[in-house]
Structures are given as structure tokens and as C-alpha cells.
Amino acid sequence: MALYIPNASPIPLEEAQRLVLATVRPLPLASIPLSRAYGYCLADPVLSDHNVPMYDRSTVDGYALRAEDVKWASRSTPVKLNTIEEIPAGHIPEKQIAPGMASRIMTGAPIPKGADAVVKVEETEIGEDEGRSSVWIYRSVTAGESILRKGADVEEGTIILPEGTFIGPVEAGLLSTFGVGVVPVYDKPKVGILSTGSELLPVDQQISPGKHRDSNGVMLAGQVRAAGGDPVYLGIVQDHPEELEKRITEALQQVDVLVTSGGVSMGDYDFLGNTFEKIGAKVVFWKTLIRPGMPALFGTWQDKPIFALAGNPASSYVNAWLYLLPAIRRMCGRRNPLPQRLTGICDEPIAMMPMPHTRFLRGFAYISSSGELRVKIARKQASGILSSFLESNCLVRVPGEKGYAAGERVEMDLIGTLGESVCP
């Protein structure tokens, strides 16, 4: 039986993304230890309750002094100062710097009263003068040199991490700085991944005629995890309508989001549209004006999102990038769930194609020797080819009915690390 979906005309990309984000909501809040908070999103803003640093402190090992006392110091005309104390990190200075005096100071230690600069220890030499400790200074310094001022990093009363902030290494460090040992976060969605197709084999099975191993399942799991979700690989289901309905119904009882790949086009063995109807799922859209990956079905079952993505690997990747991952980020509480776009100069021409679809071409974005952001288009762009993503770190957006000459600026989504490989 052929696939039938009512109101199935393709819709523009932006409209599809708007519908997805209007459908999903952030998950309930949870409180977790800071040690486990990496990869979650903050559910409440974090306000600084003190300055960082809390006092003026030295940024080097050296001598705290008055810049006025050493303004003529040099290698040929050193200045001798009396040293009055040593200030390790974590200790409070006990003595005030007066004219002609200096205190030995370590990195991170508070600046003593009276001092307005620190000279590096490498520019000094210890001296002795009638039993009193002294130091020769071989370089002049300016007021404020090698001093990190109170509040220079973070001022008291500042919102340092807004609600919805993704917690990475730096964010975790700031949470620790301000004593947030238990972190309020949005829970992560459990995302079920089901690969469909009688031609698919598990990774550990031998290839046989007409069959190939399932690459989409593990690929989608990686994308889901990178977006902040908790992937649950549910295996493979063959092209049998009853089995498909059973497996999808079972999966929806276990997860917050369900994503399938394959079985969503117009072939005689593409059953997902009918399965949506049989289980009582609501279809939000089917088909969008993009390539690769035009056939993408999105709907809900009891308010749980279901994404039925195209089966070709490149199509499945692009579908997930554009629709599934923004939904996951929104459910995780991310403030900006859509991919960030960059603009760069294209190295080669991109032919215009007479169709309304936005094309997403695999490419490699890099910084040229002149400092420009440029992009090279990958050679292989077919929807069934996965390996060309290995030489790509971006998806170049080409609007419908449009092409570009070499040297023109294009928009791109970064899907990898900029400049990860050396590009000539």
C-alpha cells in the first residue's frame, strides 16, 4: 500500500523549524551535583555574590613596590629597595609599602597597601645591606603593572550565567567559583532511535547480497548526544507494517522523543505515514523544501515528538541537524536552539539549480593566510554518500533557484571544528 498523508505539500525550511520549536518544550527541572552538570543547561540564572578577584592581586612572582621608586631603574642603573616581608598566595600582607621599600610576592597573593605595581622576579637580584634584606630592581614599571584589580574578572552582582546556558568546562569552573555545588538544570531528553528497513543489518553481522549494515542508528546517536540528549538505540525493524507499529508503540512508552530513519518516502515499502495514523499520532508536516532530505515527517504522540527522517545517510544527517537537534536543544533548555550561521567566501562556483529547495552542500570552512573565512565544497554530494562528511566541517546553504560564482559570500552552518585540517 502506498504511503498516504493528508496535507503533505512540502513546506519551507524556516516554517518547518518554526513548527518544531513551537511544538516542543523544555523538560522538567532537576538538581544535580556540579560534578555531573557538564552537558546540561542551567534552569536558573547564576548571580555573582562577590568580586573575582576579591582583592587586588599579583599576576606574577616578583616584588610589590611603588612605581615612582623605580622609574629610572635599568640594567645599567639598578635601584636598591629594602624588602620588608614575603607574601605567599593565600596570605594577607601585614606591612605597608613606604618609599624605598618592597615586599616579595607570589602569583595570586594580595597586593600590600602602598604598592601600586609588581616587578617580575626575573628583573631583580637579591642584595644584602648591613644585615637588612634588600633587592636590586633592573627595570622600571608603570603603575598597575602585573596587578589584577579587584572585580576585574567578575563584579559582584553580575548575572554571570543566564538561564539556558549550556554548561561546558568554563561554565562549570564559574559555578564552582561561586559555590554552586548543586546545580539547577533542565533534564535531558531520552531519545529513542529506531532504524527501519529490511535491507539493514546490525553492525556485527556479515554482509550478504542486497543487505548493508545500519549506519544511521549510531550516527544519529552521536548527533543526539552532541546536542545534549540521551540517545537510546532501539535497533532495526523490518518493513512490515504490523511489526513497525508494534515497535514504535513500545518505544514511545520508554522515551521522550522518538526518531526513525527510512521508510518515509513514497515507495511501496514506506509505511511510516500509515503507522502514524494507526497509532493515533498527529502529523505536523511531511516533506520540506530542502535537499538532501526532502522527505521528513514530524508529528506528536501524546505530546511526545516523533521525527521520521529520510533513510539515505546524508539525508538523515541533514534532517537531524535541521529539525531533531534544535528540538533536543529546546527540550534541554538551550536559549538558542537553531544552528548558528557563518558567512564566508566560496572557493569555487556553485551551479544554480531550477528548484525551490534550499540545498545543503558539504564543505570545509577554513581561515585563509590573509585571515578570511573561506569554504571549499566537497566533491561528493549524493544523499547516499556518508564518507564526504569526513572532509567537511560545515553545511553550505544554497537558497532555491540560486547559484554562486567563485569568490562570492555564502552562508554556512558549522558542523565541526573550524580549521580542523590544514587547507591550502
pLDDT tens digit sequence for 48-75:
999 999 999 999 999 999 999 999 999 9
Confidence class for position 383, pLDDT limits 50, 70, 90: very high
Rounded average pLDDT over 217-228: 96
Lowest-pLDDT range, 43-47, 133-137, 175-179, 203-207? 203-207
Spell out the domain ranges in the chain: 13-27+188-331, 32-52+163-186, 57-148, 341-414
Lowest-pLDDT range, 8-12, 271-275, 408-412? 271-275
The residue ranking higher by pLDDT, 258 or 424, is 258
Rounded average pLDDT over 197-203: 88
Which CATH number is associated with domain 13-27+188-331? Answer: 3.40.980.10
Predicted TM-score (pTM) of this structure: 0.86
pLDDT at 226: 94
The domain made up of 32-52+163-186 is a member of CATH 3.90.105.10: yes
pLDDT of 278 over the 70 cut: yes
- The DSSP letter of residue 57 is E
Confidence class for position 268, pLDDT limits 50, 70, 90: very low
Give the contacts of 173 (CB within 8 A, at least 6 positions apart). Answer: none
Q: Quote the Cα angle for 56-62-66, to 5°.
A: 65
Share of the chain above pLDDT 90, in %: 83
pLDDT of 183 over the 50 cut: yes
pLDDT tens sequence across 396-411:
999 999 999 999 999 9
Rounded average pLDDT over 232-250: 92
The domain made up of 341-414 is a member of CATH 2.40.340.10: yes
C-alpha 96/C-alpha 113 separation (Å) is 5
C-alpha 251/C-alpha 256 separation (Å) is 9
User: Judging by beta carbons within 10 Å of its beta carbon (0-12, 13-18, 19+), is residue 414 exposed, middle or buried?
Assistant: middle
pLDDT at 8: 63
Helix axes 272-279, 241-252, angle to 10 degrees: 60
Confidence class for position 271, pLDDT limits 50, 70, 90: low
Count other C-beta atoms under 10 Å from residue 95's C-beta: 13
What mean pLDDT is reported for the chain? 92
C-alpha 122/C-alpha 120 separation (Å) is 5
The b-or-e profile of 300-326 (16+ CB within 10 A means b, else e) is: ebeebbbbbbbbbbbbbbbbbbbbbbb
Give domain 57-148's CATH number out of 1.20.140.10, 2.170.190.11, 3.30.565.10, 2.60.40.1170: 2.170.190.11
pLDDT of 2 over the 50 cut: no
pLDDT at 422: 40
pLDDT at 131: 61
Q: Smallest Cα–Cα separation from 260: which of 218, 229, 217?
A: 217
Q: Smallest Cα–Cα separation from 194: which of 245, 233, 249, 222?
A: 233
pLDDT at 265: 58
Q: Please report where in the chains the cell 527541572 appears, as a residue.
A: 29
